[in-house]
Amino acid sequence: MEIEFHGAAGEVTGSCHLVNAAGKRVLLDCGMVQGDRDADTRNAADFPFDPKSIDALVLSHAHLDHCGRVPLLVKRGFGGPIYTTSATSDLANIIMSDSAHITDMDARDANRNLAPGAKPAQPLYTQADVDAAMKLMKPLNYNEPQEILPNIRVTLRDAGHILGSATVEIAATENNARRTLVFSGDLGQKGTPILCDPQNVPAADLVIMESTYGNRLHKTREDTLAELAAIFKAAHKDGGNIVIPAFAVGRTQELLYFFAEHYDEWQLGQYKMFLDSPMATKVTACYDRHEDLFDEDAKKLWLMRPHPLRMPNLTFTASTDDSRAINSIRGGAVIIAGSGMCEGGRIRHHLRHNIANPAAHIVFVGYQAQGTLGRRIVDGAKHVHLFGDDIPVRAHIHTVGGLSAHADRDGLSDWYGAIQKHPPVWLVHGEDDGRAGLADYLKQKWGCGVNLPKPGDKAAV
């Protein structure tokens, strides 16, 4: 068995790893690069392998940096089965369709000012490519081994990251020898609302593991909730709005869960609350369709009032006119909008109308990749450039790290430590400082071999 690393090796986004085993080629994830200055060019570049040569694709989950180039893979010749959970298939359809719409709009905008004789811009892929990809989806249940190709068996386990997220075990037999590779996908924290905890894996010959927060420890859940409560209290006193850039998948639903759970305690009835993200609205409805995957506490809360998805003062804004109307509210509103890293979407309009207001509070609740507007604000930018204007940053800026959908150093270490005999581990999906910190920690604690691959590197097992 040989693994080739083609994405998220030395950076957080663009997950893509190719497994050669038993005479077949299996791709693990096919995600977009995000945040990088050259992201558009890199996403449109040729794949470092022939898409037609791939026998099967296994998706760990539906975040764009893990599934965002799947329609492009299909467009360029891949026609094999795509194995994933039913919830991931459901969510990926929403995510990839939104991406197709965005790339189409970007191409249209570029062509409006096309120079004479210049080649017209083309979208990365279209809705037709998304539809073609969806026809290839083959849903698998957790913990039910499936032979996806001759002598290659896949088992998915709950990764506790977002709805439907999975760790992937690939067991291949060749020449009477069996080898097992485990790909962590993105691992969630224990005790994350709605989701079950990440499942342990009993054994492996090699592990590919994420390292997003490999050198950090998150705040406790109790401290995180206390921090959110304090923000609401301060914002009410200051009289401004609370603006929350949030990922449509996972983070938005987690926030709504907390808001419903602490509705009275945090006095949320005094706010006008808006979920200003058509995609997040679709995703939230998808969560309602997959209650069977919830943990026990979430199943109980879903039966109570206020229901997380139907709080009495929560408005789901669909049209752009409804979204613009929110900007006339100068105080007393809670606005959740995407994109989570502020690189596009309706959140940029809400930042434009609030970030210069000393009474406003901007609350970051997710990872901000290098090069993104969100990262610049978190890192202390004094001004931001939005829609042609240079706007001073006067609002209160908060980073609520305890809400991360990713396990921290100790969570990653505990998950790896449960694997028998502590096999060699290759760290991906992390910036170099995070990977290096986790590598040192794992070596010291478990005495294992740790590798930090770069794109194009190979590992054999």
Query: 359-381 pLDDT, tens per residue?
Result: 999 999 988 888 899 999 999 99
The answer to whether the predicted template modeling score (pTM) of the entire model surpasses 0.85 is: yes
Alpha-carbon distance 125 to 75, whole Å?
A: 7
pLDDT at 305: 62
> In this prediction, what percent of the chain has a pLDDT beyond 70?
99
Phi, psi of 15 (to 5 degrees): -55, 130
Rg (CA), the chain: 22
Percent of the chain with pLDDT over 90: 82
Q: What pLDDT does residue 150 have?
A: 97
Amino acid at 241: N
Domain ranges of the chain: 2-216+405-460, 221-403
Q: What is the rounded distance in angstroms from the CA atom of residue 199 to the CA atom of residue 220?
A: 20
**DSSP 8-state assignment for residue 269:** G
Give mean pLDDT, residues 116-145.
Answer: 96
Q: What is the pLDDT of residues 230-282, one digit of tens each?
A: 999 999 999 999 999 998 888 898 899 899 889 999 999 999 999 999 898 89
User: Which three-class secondary structure state does DSSP give residue 357?
Assistant: coil
Residues 6+ apart with CB under 8 A from 187: 159, 160, 161, 167, 198, 209, 210, 406, 407, 411, 412, 415
Cα–Cα separations (whole angstroms), residue 449 to 25, 206, 413, 443: 26, 10, 13, 7
Average pLDDT over residues 409-432: 97
Instruction: Express each pLDDT in 31-64 by its tens digit.
Output: 999 878 899 999 999 999 999 999 999 999 999 9
pLDDT of residue 248: 87
Q: Which pLDDT does position 195 carry in this prediction?
A: 94
In the structure, what pLDDT confidence band is assigned to residue 136 with cuts at 50, 70 and 90?
very high
Q: How far apart are CA 76 and CA 211, in angstroms?
A: 30
Average pLDDT, the chain: 94
Q: Domain spanning 2-216+405-460 has what CATH number?
A: 3.60.15.10
174-178 long-range Cβ contacts below 8 angstroms, 24+ apart: 174/1, 174/21, 174/22, 174/23
pLDDT, tens digit, 9 for 90 and up, residues 376-389: 999 999 999 999 99
Q: Please indicate whether residue 96 or residue 102 has the higher confidence score (pLDDT).
A: 96
Domain 221-403 grouped into CATH 3.40.50.10890? yes
Identify which of 155, 353, 116, 362 has the alpha carbon closest to the alpha carbon of residue 238.
362
Identify the pLDDT of residue 288.
85
